[in-house]
Amino acid sequence: MYNLLLAHGGNIWKMNLWYALPAIIAISLVYAATRHERMRPILAHAARAGLWQVGFMFVVFVVLEVVGWFT
């Protein structure tokens, strides 16, 4: 079984987690564009939405790491 957790000795540069970056950018821009019409508010909203998404992914990562330590 392929383990994506860093505690298993994985290298972040060799993981498939980098595929999430274009998805986060695209989702943030589309979500922001549905709320605003001008470019500046779209980019500002997209940046905030992207930070929320990265923060949520980080929290899930930390929870999985903690669960991995106790199993």
Give pLDDT tens digits for 10-50.
555 566 777 888 999 999 999 999 999 999 999 999 999 99
Q: pLDDT category, 51, cuts 50, 70, 90?
A: very high
pTM over 0.85: no
- Asked, for residue 1, whether it belongs to a domain, the answer is no
Interacting residues of 15 by C-beta distance below 8 A, sequence separation 6+: 4
Q: Which domain holds residue 53?
A: 6-69
Q: Which helix (H) or strand (E) holds 61?
A: helix 39-69
Residue 3: DSSP 8-state: -
- 20 domain-assigned: yes
